[in-house]
Structure 1
């Protein structure tokens, strides 16, 4: 399925970004510095074709790309995208959490590979409960908190330490549908680790499957990876996981307490 066309708001953001890029080019040329799209793409570490598509509103911006444009142009993300700016701080912190943990000694101490939370912190650590906004073929994502009355869940500090997890890399999401029944049903809450995207046979992952957030078991068969459901109904057949249509968002590390009524 091809990616959806950009909406009017996204097109306006692309136009603003292009104007800022043109101004950046003029400033670079006046200083005798490389200012071509090729030079910019090299600095941002992606192809010139992708750069051109972002500037001309052919593919949507995501937070990873917005951060790179912000660094290149020397402007805040809000200068071209207020929507992405609202999420950039949390997302950047999550992606860089391991590096942050090593430098922020007031928050964490490293003991070997394990991260130990300071003794004066609570026994339970709050983890954000979010909804994921994904786009087909796009690596980044947005995490929004729609229900302001239920924005976090509390994980035992012992669980985080025992499993060498970093709190900033953990997100809680709700399961959609019944494809993972009886292990999970609609509305169950799982915790994912967005720092762990390496595929492991038979483990559970949150996946961007063609723009849809799904929780599935990742199964290897020969040289191919597949998204597998627990539900034996033939309607929930496995699907090949390859290329840009199947992007791992994070590994499921915990399923929260649940009611057992109507499950067996």
Structure 2
């Protein structure tokens, strides 16, 4: 693939997914201007293998899109898709800072299984870790949760959500009053206080928790 095509493909994905140059630069561990310079100025001439792999997994595309050898394929089978696993935690306790989002790896899932689970596009899903015990016994410290960012403010209903509270991410259960459309935000662990009678418009909803995985002791 010609170098200009690599840049055009990356720029198109950035536009379609509403990403930004600086955020993607940080994702691959580069200075904030790195991706913009690659696309707009042609520097560097090619992405490194590591950078290409991270970006391909993040966007869920074949590495050849970003200049891998034509004989190279890092794509799962057509029946599978990759979900980004991010270096972020959503606190079930005091609150974890959500800045500095970084791709750790990706996990492959069966597309049909995902459609049955939540009907979301793979690019709207990510996997992050739970910290703390405020959501036990439903979620425990160290559990990994899949978050659907397309299932947020416009589709709120009772369930478990990741919210942004100031500069922290928290995972809580929302119970919505159908008459007033106000919410109670609570922990499943009764030792933690609830937030009663919240205005939905004032809640910074990141996405709905649709799946969880944990290590069996």
What SS class does the counterpart of residue 83 from structure 1 fall into? coil
Which protein is bigger by CA-based radius of gyration?
Answer: 1
Aligned partner (choices 54, 68, 84) of residue 128 of structure 1: 84
Aligned partners of 1:133 and 1:142 also within 8 Å: no
Distance 1:209 1:187, change over 3 A: same
Aligned residue in 2 for 1:217: 173
Q: How far 1:195 moved relative to its partner?
A: 1.6
Alignment of 1:138-217 (within 5 A): 143-145=101-103, 148=104, 151-162=105-116, 163-197=118-152, 198-217=154-173
Aligned residue in 2 for 1:19: none
Whole-Å separation in 2 of the counterparts to 1:219 and 1:236:
14
Aligned partners of 2:181 and 2:200 also within 8 Å: no
Aligned residue in 2 for 1:254: 211
Whole-Å separation in 2 of the counterparts to 1:121 and 1:175:
30
The number of equivalent residue pairs is 151
Q: Does 1:236 align with 2:193?
A: yes
Q: Which has the higher contact order (CA 8 A, sep 6+)?
A: 2
Aligned residue in 2 for 1:227: 185
Q: How far 1:86 moved relative to its partner?
A: 6.1
Aligned partners of 2:130 and 2:144 also within 8 Å: yes
Q: How far 1:156 moved relative to its partner?
A: 2.8
Q: How far 1:158 moved relative to its partner?
A: 2.3
Output the aligned Cα RMSD: 4.0
CA deviations on 1:100-123 (whole Å, 9 max, x unpaired) are xxxxxxxxxxxxxxxxxxxx8255
Bigger fraction of residues in strand:
2
Q: How far 1:124 moved relative to its partner?
A: 4.0
Q: How far 1:239 moved relative to its partner?
A: 5.3
Contiguous gaps of at least 5 residues in structure 1? 1-63, 68-75, 98-119, 135-139
What SS class does the counterpart of residue 158 from structure 1 fall into? helix
Bigger fraction of residues in helix:
1
Whole-Å separation in 1 of the counterparts to 2:201 and 2:106:
31
What SS class does the counterpart of residue 183 from structure 2 fall into? strand
Aligned partners of 1:133 and 1:143 also within 8 Å: no
Q: How far 1:77 moved relative to its partner?
A: 5.4
Q: How far 1:173 moved relative to its partner?
A: 0.6
